[in-house]
Amino acid sequence: MLRKAFPHHWSFFLGELALYSLIVLLLTGVWLTFFFKPEMREVVYHGSYVPLQGIRMSAAFDSTLHISFDVRGGLLIRQMHHWAALVFVAAIGVHLLRIFFTGAFRRPREINWVIGVTLLVLALAEGFAGYSLPDDLLSGTGLRIAQGIMLSLPVVGTYVSMFAFGGEFPGQDIVPRLYSLHILLLPGVLIALVTVHLTLVFYLKHTQWRGPGKTNANAVGKPMVPQFAVSSAGLSFMVAGVLTLLAGIAQINPVWVYGPYRADVVSTGSQPDFYVGFLEGALRLVPPWETNLAGHTVMWNVLLPAVVLPGLFFLVLYLYPFVEQRLTGEWEQEHHLCDRPRERPVRSGLGVAGIVFYGVLLLAGGNDIIAQTFRISVNALTWILRVALVVGPFLAFMVTRRLCHALLESERERLTGGEGTGEVRQSVAGGYESDHRPVERFRPGAPRTPVSPAGRSPGRRTGTPFRTPRLPGRRRR
């Protein structure tokens, strides 16, 4: 086991970034639990921050200010915790993109893909719960939006809201309940799933780029001890160091500036953390549609963007590996070699279209800030983003698919004719021709010999590059 092979390409370290961010989250979170009070009882602030002295606020916000200004190193730990949360979610997202574009979700790794998507869902829920705990004006505005989403559920919306908040908004129970979820239930499930995920990675072995000595039946890489262990430990220290540096010099979420939450006040320019920004954007783009059915008002402008859209989004992520393998006829084959994105034009096009769709929603979440900054009409910007949300992903898909085919054709010509040396020769007949030499440098996964259009060139409809025979038995290390 000490000689087990691990990958050395940089793209495989994205998952480790998420793991080490989670470790920083756990360590700083345990420290914060000694000082935070998850209570909504009203108190009068008498702490060190003079502008808020004498202001009535919840005990949760009072303890947050106490951590920030009266506990030695408290503000640094709070900032580290918040930055680690952002990096954790971002690393999971980028790691899933790497797996998607390289096809590392295919058999026998479908279950690990499902676990990874579930980890993303849990990370979003964990981030929102922690974001809401300080009970400041910004997080309280987010809770108000969450209550509106609950109320949009037909028939049961009122009951769900009353249960979550312990009565009429803002209630007295939401912060204690979010606290229990944030420090106990969600972290426990996260740690359990991460353990299962790493166990499956260890058992199934890593995928790898095509190259000399790398086949679908082996796993080539550096041994766990000492090469991988040393590099991975170094990465963990780098992650902790960068997060500490960010916490010290890049202020984030200054709750003392926002002040305590009041139900009759909304902070100007409220923006959530980036990982839920797409939901904010979806809420701002959907027109005010409502329907009265049997005495019940269905708020489509909230239900569709905040409940139906994310539900469909994650359903597509869960099902995609199984659907693609059925459509391409690859569900009976094991795949341990990574695809280059250009070799799968349809998959790459769908991935880029999804990124554009997410990007438009993220921009829409800050349409008021963008309109104010660039002095344009917020209504005109909203309509532009509505059109872009429909047209942008389609154009992104078409351009990406076409670009993938063009890259493959260019690569085939380069391998067939060689790469130019920059020299021009005159032939005996008096003509001129450029000099070429065989290709000697290759990127990871690139073919070494010319490929024919009928061989590994992807199909126009499914994007299947080629079929590999099914390999019996287990892979060698």
Q: 432 exposed, middle or buried (CB, 10 Å; 0-12, 13-18, 19+)?
A: exposed
Which residues neighbour 101 within 8 Å (Cβ) at sequence distance 6 or greater?
Answer: 339, 341, 344, 347, 348, 351
For the chain, helix, strand, coil in percent to 5 are 60, 10, 30
- Please tell me whether residue 81 adopts helix, strand or coil conformation: helix
Tally of CA atoms within 13 A in the half-sphere of 270 that contains its CB? 19
In the DSSP assignment, the letter for residue 307 is I
Residues in the chain: 477
The phi, psi pair for 101, rounded to 5°, reads: -70, -25
**Rounded to whole angstroms, how far apart are CA atoms 191 and 2?**
24
Q: If residue 56 lies in a helix (H) or strand (E), which one and from where to where?
A: strand 56-58
Q: What is the pLDDT of residue 455?
A: 42
Give the orientation angle of helix 14-33 with respect to helix 229-249, to 10 degrees. Answer: 50
In the DSSP assignment, the letter for residue 57 is E
Q: What is the pLDDT of residue 7?
A: 86
pTM of the predicted model, to two decimals? Answer: 0.90
User: N- to C-terminal Cα distance for the chain?
Assistant: 10
Which residue's entry shows tokens 């303890």? 63
If you write DSSP's letter for every residue of 184-250 in order, what string do you get?
IIHHHHHHHHHHHHHHHHHHH---B--BTTB-TT----EEIIIIIHHHHHHHHHHHHHHHHHHHHHS
**Rounded to whole angstroms, how far apart are CA atoms 285 and 383?**
8
Number of H-type helices and E-type strands within the chain:
16, 8
Q: What is the pLDDT of residue 244?
A: 97
CB 87 within 8 A of CB 17: yes
Q: 453 exposed, middle or buried (CB, 10 Å; 0-12, 13-18, 19+)?
A: exposed
Q: What is the pLDDT of residue 450?
A: 67
**Rounded to whole angstroms, how far apart are CA atoms 363 and 161?**
29
Which residue's entry shows tokens 């905040």? 306
Percent share of the chain, pLDDT over 70: 94
**Rounded to whole angstroms, how far apart are CA atoms 297 and 416?**
66
Q: 298: which 2 tokens?
A: 């269905």
Tell how far CA 87 is from the center of its chain. Answer: 9
Q: What is the pLDDT of residue 451?
A: 59
Q: 58 exposed, middle or buried (CB, 10 Å; 0-12, 13-18, 19+)?
A: buried
Q: What is the pLDDT of residue 182?
A: 96
* Low-confidence residues in the chain, pLDDT < 50: 454-457, 460-462, 466-474, 476-477
**Rounded to whole angstroms, how far apart are CA atoms 401 and 434?**
31
Q: What is the pLDDT of residue 213?
A: 84
